[in-house]
Structure formats: structure tokens, C-alpha cells
């Protein structure tokens, strides 16, 4: 791995709250210019990790480096952080609010006003500039808070659940904006439960479950590696073969077919041979790349 291009490195990080370990011995890195998806079910430890990365809390064990250094005020200024619990001043007008956030990051007002106009336009909020934040819908507030994370032109964006509170049209819109930011050589880390969205946006992913990493790497490679072990099957009969835990790890049922996740040691040709031998009527048998959602379910179900 090229250390020069490593924007974030997390090494053997553990975080406890009393007796509860929220993040356990977590290691991963994020390369510059990549979109990195932070995935996992509720309570997996995503927000806890993100809060350690941005320096809100400190790991009990392990080391976090950003741009090759520990977190300092200078490093903090290179990060745009969208927290999970949004923190807008409801009574402030949109413009004043954004000016305030820009000033906190040391952006001169003239430049801040230019950027505010650009971003309000880009996020389709220009007509709300003089309105109070409390007049905005949940989705609009979400977009406003996103603008606040962008005003100092950060090199690294860390977005905790950036799609929450957005309707499907705005999810698509936000995806476009994130893709645009990526094309400017920025690095983006975001957490989400939306696997389809992650699948479309991410270069790399990490999947946490119960405080630990269960999967990480390049999304393409992860999907390709699963492709060898997942079969799209349409057949009648063969129930006993499919129930064989030595061969089949898990099955995702669709309306008229099944996705068969073979055990790592299982082989597709053995499955086919045994189905035929059992007298099953097989009308479709195809190696497929599973969706990220299927991989997610396969990895987190226990």
C-alpha cells in the first residue's frame, strides 16, 4: 500500500464505554481520492469510529492518523464532518448560519459569501437563503448542514449517514453531488445503511458487525470474489441438497429463484451434480455476483 496516498489510517483501535466494547481492535486505511463506505447494522460501531477519527473521542487503544499525522487544528481544517446528530441553530437565518460555520473554519466573509451562493444554488436551496432554519424541511436541513461541511473546501469529507432524512429523489441528488466532489480528487468517507447507494458510490468498503471488522477491501474485488461462490438457482426439488450445511452457507429467497451462497469450501459443480442426482428439476443454474446487500446480509446474520 502506498503510504504517501493514505489519507486515513486506523490501527488496532479499541473503544470501550464502561464494560461494553463499542469498537474492537479495528484496523483499516483509506487512500486519497477514493470513496470509502462505512457499512454495518445498527450499533455496529460506525459512529463511534467516525467520532474517534474526527477527534471528538479518543481511542482506548490503537492509533489514528490523518494525512500522516495525529489530529491537530490544522488537520481538522482539512476535514468536512457531517455528524449523525445534526447541529443547526434553528432560529438563525440560513445565510447567517452558513456565514457562522464558514467563519468558524476561518473562511473570510467575501469568499464565504461566494461559496455560500454556489452551494445554495447547487443544493437547490437559493430561495431559502433569507429564511429561518426552522422553516426548512428535514431534508432541506440535511442539505444545509451538508453545505456547512463544504464551505472551507475540505480535502476529506466524513459524512455520517448523509442520506438519512432524504427522499429517494434527494438521495439520487446527493449521490450526484458526492460523485462530483470525488471527481475533484477529494476523499470521501461515509456511513450508510443503504446498500444500493453504497454499491453505486463506493470504491472501497468496510463492513462492521458487533464492534468488529467482518469485511473490507475494494468493492469490485469483494464482489468478484463472492461471484465464485454464489449461484442463482431455479429448480423444483433438491431440498435435502440445499439443506446440506457442509455445502450451502445460506440462501436468499427471491420470488421465483434462490441465491445460493456456497460455503467457502463448496464448489458449484458439486452442487449441480448433487441436485441432478437427487432428481431435482433444474431450470436455471448460474454463477452470479451477489449484490452488496446480499453480501451484507450474509456477513451480519448469525
Q: How near is the Cβ of 65 to ligand ATP at its closest, in Å?
A: 20
Q: How near is the Cβ of 47 to ligand ATP at its closest, in Å?
A: 3
- When the beta carbons of 57 and 65 are compared against ligand ATP, the nearer one is 57
How many Cα atoms are found within 13 Å in the side-chain-facing hemisphere of 179? Answer: 11
- When the beta carbons of 105 and 193 are compared against ligand ATP, the nearer one is 193
Judged by the rule CB under 6 A, the positions of this chain that interact with ligand ATP are 17, 20, 22, 40, 42-48
Are residues 186 and 156 in contact, defined by beta-carbon separation less than 8 angstroms? yes
For 91-102, give the DSSP string.
TSBHHHHHHHHH
Q: How near is the Cβ of 250 to ligand ATP at its closest, in Å?
A: 23
Q: How near is the Cβ of 294 to ligand ATP at its closest, in Å?
A: 19
| Residue from 211, 207, 193, 234 nearest 298 by CA | 207
- When the beta carbons of 26 and 147 are compared against ligand ATP, the nearer one is 26
- When the beta carbons of 43 and 106 are compared against ligand ATP, the nearer one is 43
- When the beta carbons of 17 and 118 are compared against ligand ATP, the nearer one is 17
Report residue 71: phi and psi, to 5°.
-75, 125
| Burial status of residue 55 (CB atoms within 10 A of its CB: 0-12, 13-18, 19 or more) | middle
Q: How near is the Cβ of 17 to ligand ATP at its closest, in Å?
A: 3
Are residues 122 and 181 in contact, defined by beta-carbon separation less than 8 angstroms? no
Antiparallel, parallel or unpaired: β 281-287 and 248-253: unpaired
Amino acid at each position: 500500500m502506498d503510504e504517501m496516498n493514505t489519507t486515513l489510517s486506523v490501527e488496532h483501535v479499541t473503544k470501550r464505554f464502561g464494560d461494553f466494547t463499542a469498537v474492537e481492535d479495528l484496523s483499516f486505511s483509506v487512500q486519497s481520492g477514493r470513496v470509502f463506505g462505512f457499512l454495518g447494522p445498527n450499533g455496529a460501531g460506525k459512529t463511534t469510529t467516525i467520532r474517534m477519527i474526527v477527534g471528538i473521542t479518543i481511542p482506548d487503544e490503537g492509533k489514528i492518523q490523518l494525512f500522516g499525522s495525529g489530529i491537530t487544528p490544522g488537520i481538522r481544517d482539512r476535514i468536512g464532518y457531517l455528524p449523525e446528530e445534526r447541529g443547526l441553530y434553528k432560529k438563525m437565518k440560513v445565510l447567517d448560519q452558513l456565514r457562522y460555520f464558514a467563519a468558524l473554519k476561518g473562511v473570510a466573509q467575501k469568499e464565504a459569501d461566494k461559496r455560500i451562493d454556489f452551494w445554495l444554488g447547487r443544493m437547490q436551496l437559493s430561495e431559502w437563503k433569507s429564511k429561518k432554519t426552522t422553516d426548512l424541511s428535514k431534508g432541506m436541513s440535511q442539505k444545509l448542514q451538508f453545505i456547512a461541511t463544504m464551505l472551507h473546501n475540505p480535502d476529506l469529507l466524513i459524512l455520517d449517514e448523509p442520506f438519512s432524512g432524504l427522499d429517494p429523489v434527494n438521495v439520487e441528488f446527493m449521490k450526484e453531488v458526492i460523485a462530483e466532489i470525488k471527481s475533484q480528487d477529494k476523499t470521501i468517507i461515509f456511513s450508510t445503511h443503504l446498500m444500493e447507494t453504497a454499491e453505486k458510490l463506493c470504491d472501497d468498503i468496510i463492513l462492521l458487525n458487533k464492534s468488529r471488522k467482518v469485511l473490507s477491501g475494494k468493492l469490485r474485488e469483494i464482489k468478484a470474489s463472492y461471484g465464485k461462490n454464489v449461484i442463482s438457482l431455479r429448480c423444483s426439488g433438491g431440498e435435502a441438497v440445499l439443506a446440506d450445511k457442509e455445502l450451502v452457507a445460506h440462501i436468499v429467497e427471491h420470488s421465483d429463484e434462490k441465491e445460493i451462497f456456497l460455503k467457502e469450501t463448496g464448489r458449484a459443480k458439486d452442487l449441480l451434480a448433487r441436485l441432478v442426482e437427487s432428481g431435482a428439476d433444474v431450470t436455471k443454474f448460474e454463477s452470479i455476483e451477489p449484490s452488496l446487500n446480499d453480501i451484507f446480509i450474509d456477513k451480519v446474520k448469525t
